[in-house]
A = this chain, B = another copy of it.
Amino acid sequence: MQQDASPLESLRREYRPRVPAALTAPVSELGFADTHPAASPADAATVAARFPRTAGRPVATLVRSGAEKPLVPRPVRAGVVLSGGPAPGGHNVIAGLLDALQDIHAHSTLVGFLGGPAGILRGRKIALDERVVAPFRNTGGFDLLGSGRDKIETDEQLKASAATCRELALDAVVVVGGDDSNTNAAVLAEHFLEHDVPTAVVGVPKTIDGDLKNRDIEASFGFDTATKVYAELIGNIGRDAPSSRKYWHFVKLMGRSASHVTLECALATRPNVALIAEEVLASGATLASIVDGIADAVAARAESGRPYGVVLVPEGLIEFVPEIRALIDDLNALLANRAGDPDARALVAEALPASSRAVFERLPEGFRGQLLLDRDAHGNVQVSKIETERLLIDLVAAELGRRRARGTFAGAFHAQHHFLGYEGRCAAPSNFDADYTYALGRLAALLALAGRTGYVATLRGLAGPAESWTAAGVPIASMFHVESRKGRPTPVIRKALVDLHGRPFLEFAANRARWAIEDAYRCPGPIQYFGPPEVADSRTVTLLLERGE
């Protein structure tokens, strides 16, 4: 469904993404060279056994002239699918893909599968040409095709996908997705090779969560834009705090298990407190110790005449607190297949193990009810629905109440809660994400032409100017490790959690004591598409610390 363009969108349609010269060079001058070994998966033997045709291959770097196998232009028939949660820049992957396919050969064609991977299974698709794609250039959202979270896993699903690709005579399918979707792309690639389906499967690394990141993938697309939107808002809230001098703002941030979004926003906005779930897990912190830490900050700031503050809370926090994890597991075990059971409370009082019952009883009443009521179709607690930001407010207020009774706290504590997620997932891509995704789309087309199946498109040197990025296909299987899924050891892409020894976390850790006490708030402001490069072409703090000079 084409939306009615705003003035900014109309202007942005004309934006020409900047890309490394190699990506727009005549195709016949280009080739992929197997330049160096890919990373070694954590459990190489298991991966090799499961992926005999696609494991163990080297990195394929895009080179100009002198390539072992120069690319030979021919019409390419390609499909593209958007998978999982939307991320800014998805439409530019499609635009880059379309432009490169046309540059490769005027008779190339592109179809878009509708509604995510289910579109492949059911053969639901639309033809993508310039007329269709033009209004979506440099826009946010996945609404050109829609998205979906279906997986292609079972034999039946793999066969249905093969049938669709054969029927459409596709040379390639480009899968735009996160860790699970790219894992799925590798499964599909292996299956197609095994069954002589002549369709290459190429991945493109997407997710605002920032957790699809490794030796070869410097950043997943969308992280830059989404964190800038959240940082804009947190920056504004951080201006409001010392203006109104009245509220502590607890801001929960999307990002699933990983705390990359929270860490990036903390580095960009310098809140008083930012919780990093990976650190909580590593330290074995209890909920009480987390609450104590926040209460300490509230008390210290109250003493210096600052009854206000900003606290960032990652979405995944609650699962990383060991005692809460245990409680959730115990509740799930106890209440499985009893969704909607009105006697859940009595059952919990009777049968919950003593340690978890003690944790449960210390939670505020509203949250006890939420844990019992908000369960999914299988009766499991829906962790993503737990309002951690409100839970923390209640618990901090209770702790400060105890301190007040003891005479150790005399200040005020009023709080506001926020949850930022949907506000940024479909923002129009920043210049960085617009450039990055367009270039990834062009690279995916070249990988498709080269028949490099089971590879993910990667660009390196992202901290520097687009013109100097280097392009390569990296075997997805090289990013695998083995996890237990549905009780079976399964190779999947290793999800990148925040590295507690990495520069972004260390930078945060070195400053947070000062940020807790001072008003060090920083206001990055909204994404700028025009103007001086220091604002229009900025990178995330995370990327600069990890990959900058």
A residues bordering B, Cβ < 8 Å?
Answer: 1, 3-9, 11-12, 85-86, 115, 139-143, 146-147, 229, 232-233, 235-240, 242-245, 247, 249, 270, 416, 418-419, 422-428, 519-532, 534-536, 538
* Contact yes or no, A416 B422, CB < 8 A: yes
Cross-chain pairs A/B with CB under 8 angstroms, 22 sampled: A4-B521, A6-B522, A6-B524, A7-B535, A8-B528, A11-B531, A11-B535, A12-B525, A86-B239, A86-B240, A139-B239, A141-B239, A141-B240, A143-B242, A147-B243, A229-B526, A236-B423, A239-B426, A418-B419, A428-B525, A530-B530, A530-B531
Chain B residues with CB below 8 A from A5, complex form: 522
* Contact yes or no, B141 A6, CB < 8 A: no
* Contact yes or no, B237 A3, CB < 8 A: no
* Contact yes or no, B141 A425, CB < 8 A: no
Chain B residues with CB below 8 A from A229, complex form: 233, 236, 526
Instruction: Please report the C-alpha to C-alpha distance between residue A229 and residue B4 in the assembled complex, in whole angstroms.
Output: 19
Closest to A148 in B: B245
Chain B residues with CB below 8 A from A531, complex form: 11, 529-531
* Contact yes or no, A236 B426, CB < 8 A: yes
* Contact yes or no, A236 B424, CB < 8 A: yes
Tallying the copies of this chain within the complex gives 2
Closest beta carbon of chain B to A116's beta carbon, Å: 10
Instruction: Please report the C-alpha to C-alpha distance between residue A534 and residue B11 in the assembled complex, in whole angstroms.
Output: 9
Chain B residues with CB below 8 A from A520, complex form: 3-4
Chain B residues with CB below 8 A from A536, complex form: 530
* Contact yes or no, A8 B525, CB < 8 A: yes
Chain B residues with CB below 8 A from A233, complex form: 229, 233, 423
Contact of A526 among B85, B526, B538 (CB under 8 A): B526
Instruction: Please report the C-alpha to C-alpha distance between residue A270 and residue B115 in the assembled complex, in whole angstroms.
Output: 24
Closest beta carbon of chain B to A86's beta carbon, Å: 4
Contacts known (A8-B524, A519-B3, A530-B531); A236 close to B422, Cβ less than 8 A: yes
Instruction: Please report the C-alpha to C-alpha distance between residue A465 and residue B238 in the assembled complex, in whole angstroms.
Output: 32
Closest beta carbon of chain B to A490's beta carbon, Å: 27
Closest to A84 in B: B244
* Contact yes or no, A243 B526, CB < 8 A: no
Starting from the known contacts A4-B522, A236-B422, A528-B529, 13 additional A-B residue pairs (CB-CB under 8 Å) come to A3-B239, A4-B520, A6-B522, A7-B524, A11-B534, A11-B535, A147-B244, A239-B426, A240-B426, A428-B523, A428-B525, A526-B526, A531-B531
Closest to A87 in B: B243
Chain B residues with CB below 8 A from A236, complex form: 140, 229, 422-427
Closest to A144 in B: B243
* Contact yes or no, B141 A242, CB < 8 A: yes
Closest to A417 in B: B419
* Contact yes or no, B8 A535, CB < 8 A: yes
Chain B residues with CB below 8 A from A9, complex form: 523, 525
Contact of A245 among B4, B115, B524 (CB under 8 A): B115
Contact of A6 among B11, B243, B523, B530 (CB under 8 A): B523
Closest to A531 in B: B530
Contacts known (A8-B528, A243-B143, A520-B4); A249 close to B418, Cβ less than 8 A: no
Closest beta carbon of chain B to A387's beta carbon, Å: 11
Chain B residues with CB below 8 A from A534, complex form: 7, 11
* Contact yes or no, A142 B243, CB < 8 A: yes
Closest to A115 in B: B245
Instruction: Please report the C-alpha to C-alpha distance between residue A8 and residue B143 in the assembled complex, in whole angstroms.
Output: 31
Instruction: Please report the C-alpha to C-alpha distance between residue A531 and residue B536 in the assembled complex, in whole angstroms.
Output: 11
| Residue from A3, A419, A530, A532 whose CB has the most chain B CB atoms within 10 Å | A3
User: Which 7 pairs across A and B sit closest by C-beta, in order of nearness?
Assistant: A530-B531, A526-B526, A141-B239, A239-B426, A142-B243, A8-B525, A240-B426
Closest to A268 in B: B6
Contacts known (A141-B240, A244-B86, A528-B529); A418 close to B428, Cβ less than 8 A: no
Instruction: Please report the C-alpha to C-alpha distance between residue A428 and residue B527 in the assembled complex, in whole angstroms.
Output: 12
Closest to A270 in B: B4
